[in-house]
A and B are shown apart, each in its own frame.
Chain A
Amino acid sequence: MQKSASLSETTVPSPDDEPLYVGGPRIYQQSVKGRLRTIKWAVLFVCLGVYYFLPFVRWYRGPNQPDQAVLVDLANNRFYFFFIEIWPQEVYYFTGLLVLASLILFLSNAVAGRVWCGYLCPQTVWTDLFMTVERWIEGDRRERMLADARPMTAAKFGRLALKHFVWLMIAWWTGGAWVLYFADAPTLVKDLATFQAPMIAYVWIAILTFTTYALAGLMREQVCLYMCPWPRIQAALTDQYALNVTYRYDRGEPRMSVKSAAKARAAEEPAGDCIDCRQCVVVCPTGVDIRDGSQMGCIQCGLCIDACNTVMTKVNRPLGLIAYDNDVNITRRAEGLEETYPIVRSRTVLYVAMIALVGLAMLYGLMTRSFTDLSVLHDRNPLFVQLSDGSVRNSYTVRLLNKRPLHRIFVLAVDGLPQARATAVGIPNTEIGWPLIEVAPDATREVIVHVTAPNAASLPASTDVTFRITELGSGERVSSRDHFIAR
Chain B
Amino acid sequence: MANHPPEIDAATGRSTTGHEWDGIKELNSPLPKWWLYVFYATIVWSIGYWIVYPAWPLVTGYTKGLFGYSSRESVVVELDALKALRASRSTALASASLEDIQRNPDLLTFALAQGKAAFGDNCAPCHGLSATGARGFPNLRDDTWLWGGSLAEIRQTIAHGVRTGDDRSRQGSMPALGGPNGVLKRDEVITVANYVRSLAGLSVRQGTDLAKGKELFETNCVACHGADGRGNRELGAANLTSANWVYGSDEATIVETINNGRGGVMPGWTGRLDDTTVKALTIYVHALGGGQ
Contacts and interface: CB of A to CB of B under 8 A. Distances in A.
Interface string A358-394: 0000000000000000000000011001111110010
B244 interface: yes
B13 interface: yes
B8 A3 contact: yes
A385 B109 contact: no
Contacts of B130: 381-382
Interface residues of A, number: 21
18 contacts: A7-B8, A10-B8, A10-B11, A10-B12, A381-B129, A382-B130, A385-B141, A385-B142, A386-B243, A387-B143, A387-B243, A388-B143, A393-B141, A395-B289, A425-B102, A445-B105, A448-B287, A450-B289
Contact of A10 (B13, B102, B109): B13
Contact of A385 (B11, B139, B291): B139
Contacts of B241: 388
Contact of A11 (B13, B102, B142, B143): B13
A265 B103 CA distance: 98
Chain A CB within 10 A, most for which of B10, B13, B239, B241 = B13
Interface in A385-437: 385-390, 393, 395, 425-426
A395 B239 CA distance: 24
B289 A386 contact: no
A95 interface: no
A288 B46 CA distance: 52
Contacts of A426: 102-103, 105, 108, 287
Q: What does DSSP make chain A's interface, helix, strand, loop or mixed?
A: mixed
Interface string A256-282: 000000000000000000000000000
Nearest to B111: A426
Contacts of B102: 425-426
B47 to A, nearest CB: 31
Contacts of B244: 386-388
B10 A10 contact: yes
A382 B141 contact: yes
B243 A390 contact: yes
A6 interface: yes
Contacts of A386: 142, 243-244
Interface in A1-47: 3, 6-7, 10-11
Contacts of A388: 142-144, 239, 241-244
B106 to A, nearest CB: 10
Interface residue range, chain B: 20 to 34
B108 A7 contact: no
B75 to A, nearest CB: 22
Chain B CB within 10 A, most for which of A10, A426, A445 = A426
B132 A385 contact: yes
A387 B141 CA distance: 9
A464 interface: no
B287 A425 contact: yes
Nearest to A394: B289
Nearest to A424: B287
Contacts of B112: 425, 448
Contacts of B132: 381-382, 385
Given A388-B144, A450-B289, 5 more contacts: A388-B143, A388-B241, A388-B244, A425-B287, A445-B105
B239 to A, nearest CB: 7
A388 B290 CA distance: 11
Contacts of A7: 8, 13
Nearest to B10: A6
B141 A389 contact: no
A450 to B, nearest CB: 5
A446 interface: yes
A12 to B, nearest CB: 9
A180 B241 CA distance: 67
A420 to B, nearest CB: 14
A389 B287 contact: no
Contact of A425 (B8, B108, B243): B108
A395 B132 CA distance: 13
B272 to A, nearest CB: 26
Contact of B142 (A6, A387, A425, A445): A387
Chain B CB within 10 A, most for which of A3, A7, A385, A393 = A385
Interface string B139-183: 101111000000000000000000000000000000000000000
A382 B112 CA distance: 18
Contacts of A6: 8, 10
Contacts of B289: 385, 393, 395, 450
Nearest to B241: A388
A389 B241 CA distance: 8
Contacts of B142: 385-388, 393
Q: 7 smallest A-B Cβ distances: which pairs?
A: A10-B13, A388-B242, A381-B130, A425-B287, A385-B141, A426-B102, A426-B108
B8 A389 contact: no
A151 B55 CA distance: 53
A388 B243 CA distance: 5
Interface in A436-485: 445-446, 448, 450
Interface string B35-70: 000000000000000000000000000000000000
Nearest to B289: A450
A454 B76 CA distance: 51
Contacts of A10: 8, 10-13
Interface in B275-292: 287-291
